[in-house]
Structure 1
Amino acid sequence: MTEAQGGYPFGFTCQRSGACCSGARGYVWLADGEARALADAMEMGEQAFARMFLRTVADPRNGELRLSLVEDADGRCALLAGRNECRVYGARPAHCRSFPYWESIMTDSAALARARASCPGIALVPAPAILERAGDALAQLYLDLDRQVAEHAPSCEMRGLCCRFEEVGHELFATGLEADYALNLHPTPGPPEAPGRCPYHVAGRCTARGGRPLGCRTYFCDGATEAALATVHEDFLARIRALAEELSYPQAYGRFPAMLEARLDQRRGRPATGQGEAS
């Protein structure tokens, strides 16, 4: 576990979301030998790889000319494919491997806040008193939510299809507060039955009904109530975020399974990667 300046202790486990590789302009510096390793991972010659994926730029900190990976106009790394999937993950540079332990993040609480706002792998640890107060308040909010959902009387056939994300093209997002709340009530989920699936989904049934997040509580395979429940969802998402802000709870939002995994890795005490340099 690491503590950034002016911030909470945090742990990190890469969830391969690609968030750190897209969304903002910057640099990914290459050390000696890394260009060849990347070219090998892409099954390309080193010169051909360099022409397509590398650029020589001046380091804004000291003016030194260095190699950096190419990115598009939106700041997306050229080595990403599909839904932000890194094509060279096993051979990625040390600069990538050291995220989020960059000096620019570790010494700036605002930079850490920006990083964790987009990266589900950064799991902050709130103070126990804040965690307890926020959990109690969220439980009351969920009671209100469940009452409003019941008023719309959505139909549920209990097939568990909505939890098999890879089959229905559905992704479950949640706030950090909701992920912490779920793990507090249900601390020992097993391994997911399929990659990216919620670990609480076992043999077609949810094993964490009491702690399931907003996205589960408002999602039904019932077209007749879909629009109404979408409005309920947005209303309560705003209320959950306002609750976190009111209690000074660390804000985060991402894919629920990935956020659970990051928190579980933190509890298991997996070692963090080494320190890196600023982006």
Structure 2
Amino acid sequence: MTKRLMIVQVLLLAGLSLVFLLPQTPPMREAALRAELPTWVGGGWEGGSDLEASKEEREILAKDTEFFRRSYFRSVGGGLETSLLDETQSGRMSDVVSAGIVLSGKDPSNSIHALERCLTAQGFNIAEPTTMLVKLKSGHVLPVRRLFCTRVDPATRAMARSIAYYWFVGHDAVTGNHVVRGVKDFSDRMLRGYDQRWGYITVTAYLDGVRFGDDSLAGVRQRPVTPEQADRTVEEFLGDFVPEVVMTEQIAKWYGE
């Protein structure tokens, strides 16, 4: 009886010791992002009020996903002294862009997707995506995914055209490619021993002056722009916006370079 008891004790101790051999959960590192959007951006851009994530976005992403969204405008021919009140009263035309950050929770695979998935869920039709390389003031090249989108308002049947630009930010890297992001995430986990939160940043330019689901800049008269004008406007915006939200000094790999 005593011998059997000793055997059981040895087996229990051996089983408990195996717990220490199991792989531990890798430490989590934060994305190189400031989890907020500025109210002002250099170059004369003024922000509206914070905007909520859409119902469709909330439904397809994990519960612990964080959202930040705000629209910005600048008076065409105006300057830093132009305010939202001045803009509304004067009737000036403005450039308008919407910016957003989606920041993953504990499991990036349930929080971070290619933007095409979210836009399609919201009823947008997307033409063939392209990549745009944006030269930043720091000299770095930011790789941005560019999506030409169309959507019909069910109530008015009006067609709205827009261009969405987005890229991913990890702990020390930026890329506009979702596959590259996945490879980088896997490589850091396997070879460098850590998990990381990822975020993606979106900037949207509206070609026809029509913005669905955004009343934060009510009264601002948006200037209709061509796709080429939208690209130039967004490049100018990103030159001042990116250093406000991305910790560029922490980025070791810019996949557009």
Q: TM-score, normalised by structure 2?
A: 0.23
Query: Which structure has more helix as a fraction of its residues?
Result: 1
Q: TM-score, normalised by structure 1?
A: 0.22
Higher-Rg member (1/2)? 2
Query: Which structure has more strand as a fraction of its residues?
Result: 2
